Amino acid sequence: MTEKYNPSDVEPRWQRVWRERDVFRAYDDSEKPKFYALEMFPYPSGRIHMGHVRNYAMGDVVARYKKAQGFEVLHPMGWDSFGMPAENAAIATDGHPKDWTYNNIDEMRAPMQRLGFALDWSREFATSDVAYYKTQQQIFLKFWEKGLVYRKTAKVNWDPVDNTVLANEQVIDGKGWRSGAVVEQRDMDQWFFKITNYAEDLLDGLKTLDRWPEKVRTMQANWIGKSEGLQMRFLFEPEDNERIADEILYPKWNEIDPNKENSSSGTLRSDGETIFGSYSGNGKADVEICSDDFFGGLQIFTTRPDTLYGASFLALSPDHPLVKELAKNNSSIENFRAECAKIGTSEEAIAQAPKLGLDTGLRVKHPFDKNITLPVWIANFVLMGYGTGAVFGCPAHDQRDLDFARKYDLPVTPVVLPDGKDAATYEVGDEAYTGEGKLFNSGFLNGLNKSKGIKAAIHKITEMDLGEGVTQYRLRDWGVSRQRYWGCPIPVIKCEDCGSVPVPEDQLPVELPYDINFDKPGNPLDRHPTWKTEGVTCPKCGKAAERETDTLDTFADSSWYFAAFGGSLDQDGNMDWDAASKWLPVDQYVGGVEHAVLHLLYARFFTRGLIDCGLLNVKNGEPFAGLFTQGMVTHAVFTNEDGEYVVPDQVIEKGNQLLQMGTNKIVTKGDIIKMSKSKKNTVDPEEIIKGYGADVARWFVLSDSPPERDVEWTDAGVNGAWNFQKKVWRAVEATTAQGGPLVVAEDASGEALELRKLAHRALEKITAGIEAFRFNTSVAQIYELTNALNKYKGQDAARLEALGILIRAIAPFMPHLAEECWSILMGNGLVYHAPWPEVDPAMLVDDTITLPLQVNGKRRSELNIAKDMPKDEIEKLALADEAVQRSIGDATVRKVIIVPGRIVNIVAK
């Protein structure tokens, strides 16, 4: 047996065996404990890339390892197949998004299968399958019933390049997450998922996710952005109250409902935002202006009500409804609004923009002191999207307020005295004091600390009926309407009389029409000749009606797919929700950190929604019990002398120079960054599979770097993996001992015993490495074991045992090689079905140990002694050691520290 190991022969052979024996199928009714391993499913772009290989290789290690550990493993694969690239490709190639998508899926499935992942392909689906989106439409309607879906006109993020709306989470630095175009604000009718219902729960749940990276939990917590404080209103001075009532509320009121002239109270709405007010005619109005809720007065939110006595102004966002109304009759306010809008909405430009303000002339009363009147300003640093779009300014204890006050010469009154400062002389300079201290200059709050002051102020304001303690979240509802074709149609019919009406269950799915054209920009569903209107009647009143032409954000598709795998969603749209509940949560989820907020937050929301709709039953509402975010695969970027990117394949080394193949232009090696088509620094996994085999590709992406870190793809590294494959093969080839890899060399002694010990020690560390997601350390131990085996000359039981351990240990990493080796040694059976080898604890302990000897903390020598030698004897031997003696020299031994089994340290001075 001296054949060369030939992966292109071996790998397809074992893949066929696995497929024919259907070994990767997961059984819902298995007696074994379940384990759900999942990697974030791919978008079918048409080609797999190294990032995929690394992602799925990691999940596969876990899946195969857990299988060997005796779990019933679910490890499925599918396609996140709705989305814009399909439309763009269709436009570019004059094709159809559906054809493009399903061709891509077929193209990607094959290389994926050639990588030999232990996937249950029987559960495969694509989110663009009618069966899948039909179920999603059912979920949408269930959510609607449960009050988790609503429709409103709202300011939305409009991506002018992709011609669609984006969710807040999809706007990054003021730009669209896909297109990179600067996002515009538009008012549109939108469907929303009420994710804010679960704000508190989503935040709470993070605490239970102890197998998630801290970083991701922090990012989600920040995104939810909980802050507790006081929402309160400042009452206008009487003359301003009248002015607002007469100039704004009354005309508005009239405009909306002229018949209710002079009525005594009511609510006015405009622009999708709300202006609330009670109007009783003739200037006796109780007026409140805000964006969200009804009180009377001007609503603000603060987390520092303890500093209310330090208030010197109120500031409104330029987009505040009151400001908008005032601007209508006031050109300086209108101009100011325009000026603020110029700064744009992106990046740190906002944070560093100079503070701009304009006095509205309006005045409000201080709640605690009738004699204090505060001016109401418009300020560009106040955001309409958070809180009420209005704040009170306390310059002494808020940096922004201080900058603003200094610029516009507003009073700065300190009310928190830092410890050790004197109330009589304390002044605030250019830095606001935000720390702890005792309140002063603050009436009834004097002497209290920060937290007591906050409580007391909230209590007082509540008593005065001016406000209450509230919790604010940064999280806002998830806008899911997209003006695109290639997505899940929103199952709604729009009726002139009845408004938005759900499509009845028996009329689902609302299927996408195939005959569409992309001649014009915009949504082809909207201008389809028949789909929108033909035969469409209102399910409620029967009158002719129109379909909703928006489709759902594709992030909805990926928010429940993990449940569809568990429930074996079939092509008729049937799925077993009980089975889904049984498999969930996903025990180990693996994917990129770029989904830390978007996908992972939406999926947590959906799971809660599905539980509340009675479809799922998952503990804690958490879909992913364990999450691992893997690093990227990087590669150097090469540029030639013309500044063009050069693909790595075309770079050749000549002497000390890099040259471009063919042109012989000099090539420079640049940054090592994530593989990307545009930088041409990609390596095609299919080429690697062809040249070296799937096992080598898998081994390489897992070997050197810790999984959470980026790994640099290098030819040398691939070569190393290739050589390792050969080394393992050699260890098997050189074996003539009979008996198979399950032999236990119980009577081993001498070198054989040493090999056994090494094998079991390595096994312990390999196992620990897999458990802790530190595959690189497992790999290192596998190397040691392989090297030891290749040095070992004996053809005996110890060899077979070590080999058996080695092959089972590499099986999760290099499954084809492992199967081939296993079959040679075993003759039958699959290593996939072999149990994980057990560590023999007796092999981990030695009768003799090597004890390092330190003198004053520096290692001088070592001692080979029996493991249970008494301390006083160790001390004697240590002090007698020649090197120790030399180090001690003339000094006196003060102390001898002996840590059994660890170290000896002699202190001498």
Measure the N-to-C terminal CA separation of the chain; round to a whole number of Å.
65
Question: How far apart are CB 296 and RNA at their closest, in Å?
Answer: 20
Question: How far apart are CB 447 and RNA at their closest, in Å?
Answer: 22
Q: In this chain, which stretch among 195-203, 447-455, 816-824, 881-889 interacts with RNA, using CB under 7 A? A: 881-889
Answer for which of 191, 381, 478, 605 binds RNA (CB under 7 A) is 381
Q: What's the full length of the chain, in residues? A: 909
Size of the site for RNA (CB under 7 A): 85
Question: How far apart are CB 314 and RNA at their closest, in Å?
Answer: 11
Answer for which of 138, 197, 227, 663 binds RNA (CB under 7 A) is 227
Distance CA 390, CA 376 (A): 10
Q: Which of residues 460-479 bind RNA (CB under 7 A)?
A: 472, 474
Question: Tell me, what DSSP letter sits at residue 534?
Answer: T
Question: How far apart are CB 231 and RNA at their closest, in Å?
Answer: 10
Q: In this chain, which stretch among 49-57, 253-261, 453-461, 854-862 interacts with RNA, using CB under 7 A? A: 854-862
Check: CB of residue 404 under 8 Å from CB of residue 357. Answer: yes
For residue 218, give Cα distances in angstroms to 26, 203, 225, 348, 594.
Answer: 34, 10, 10, 21, 14
Answer for which of 13, 16, 871, 902 binds RNA (CB under 7 A) is 902
DSSP output for 334-387: HHHHHHHHHT-S-HHHHHHSPP-EEEEEEEEE-SS-TT-EEEEEEETT--TTST
Q: In this chain, which stretch among 64-72, 409-417, 616-624, 900-908 interacts with RNA, using CB under 7 A? A: 900-908
Closer by beta carbon to RNA, 342 or else 370: 342
Residue 16 phi, psi dihedral angles, 5° rounding: -65, -40
Q: In this chain, which stretch among 62-70, 215-223, 421-429, 867-875 interacts with RNA, using CB under 7 A? A: 215-223
Q: Which of residues 150-209 bind RNA (CB under 7 A)?
A: 172-173
* Nearest C-alpha neighbor of 601 from the set 58, 218, 251, 29: 218
Distance CA 810, CA 60 (A): 12
Q: Which of residues 699-728 bind RNA (CB under 7 A)?
A: 703-706, 709-712, 714, 716-717, 719-720, 723, 726-727
Q: Contact letters (x/-) for RNA, 255-294, by CB under 7 A? A: ----------------------------------------
Question: Tell me, what DSSP letter sits at residue 532?
Answer: T
Residue with tokens 């054989």: 752
Check: CB of residue 314 under 8 Å from CB of residue 289. Answer: no
Answer for which of 81, 299, 302, 640 binds RNA (CB under 7 A) is 302
Distance CA 770, CA 65 (A): 8
* Nearest C-alpha neighbor of 846 from the set 904, 766, 783, 901: 901
Answer for which of 121, 150, 386, 518 binds RNA (CB under 7 A) is 386
Q: Which of residues 776-835 bind RNA (CB under 7 A)?
A: 776-777, 779-780, 783-784, 787, 790-791
Q: In this chain, which stretch among 492-500, 518-526, 819-827, 891-899 interacts with RNA, using CB under 7 A? A: 891-899
Q: In this chain, which stretch among 74-82, 123-131, 497-505, 589-597 interacts with RNA, using CB under 7 A? A: 589-597
Answer for which of 370, 520, 793, 895 binds RNA (CB under 7 A) is 895
Q: Which of residues 502-531 bind RNA (CB under 7 A)?
A: none
Question: How far apart are CB 219 and RNA at their closest, in Å?
Answer: 4
Determine the Cα angle at 277 with ends 271 and 280, to 5°. 135
- The residues with which 393 forms a beta bridge, in sequence order, are 313
Answer for which of 21, 186, 215, 690 binds RNA (CB under 7 A) is 215
Name the CA dihedral angle for 536, 539, 545, 547, rounded to a multiple of 10 degrees: -70
Answer for which of 383, 423, 880, 891 binds RNA (CB under 7 A) is 383
Q: At what angle do helices 815-826 and 694-703 cross, to 10 degrees?
A: 120
Closer by beta carbon to RNA, 828 or else 850: 850
Question: How far apart are CB 203 and RNA at their closest, in Å?
Answer: 14
- Amino acid code (one letter) for 850: T
Q: Which of residues 856-875 bind RNA (CB under 7 A)?
A: 856-860, 862
Q: At what angle do helices 694-703 and 7-21 cross, to 10 degrees?
A: 90
Q: Where are the alpha helices (DSSP H) in 493-553?
A: none
* Nearest C-alpha neighbor of 712 from the set 723, 698, 700, 724: 700
Answer for which of 301, 531, 583, 836 binds RNA (CB under 7 A) is 301
Q: In this chain, which stretch among 26-34, 99-107, 341-349, 637-645 interacts with RNA, using CB under 7 A? A: 341-349
Answer for which of 12, 225, 251, 469 binds RNA (CB under 7 A) is 225
Closer by beta carbon to RNA, 229 or else 487: 229
Q: Which of residues 725-784 bind RNA (CB under 7 A)?
A: 726-727, 774, 776-777, 779-780, 783-784
Q: Contact letters (x/-) for RNA, 422-461, by CB under 7 A? A: ----------------------------------------
Q: In this chain, which stretch among 185-193, 418-426, 453-461, 592-600 interacts with RNA, using CB under 7 A? A: 592-600
Question: How far apart are CB 384 and RNA at their closest, in Å?
Answer: 7
User: Which SS3 state, helix, strand or coil, does residue 772 take?
Assistant: coil
Question: Tell me, what DSSP letter sits at residue 115?
Answer: T
Question: How far apart are CB 629 and RNA at their closest, in Å?
Answer: 10
Residue 441 phi, psi dihedral angles, 5° rounding: 55, 30
Distance CA 667, CA 660 (A): 6
Q: Helix, strand, coil shares of the chain as percentages rounded to 5?
A: 40, 20, 40
Check: CB of residue 565 under 8 Å from CB of residue 38. Answer: yes
Question: Tell me, what DSSP letter sits at residue 181?
Answer: P
Question: How is residue 772 written in tokens?
Answer: 């802790």
Q: Contact letters (x/-) for RNA, 342-371, by CB under 7 A? A: -x---xx-xx-x-x----------------
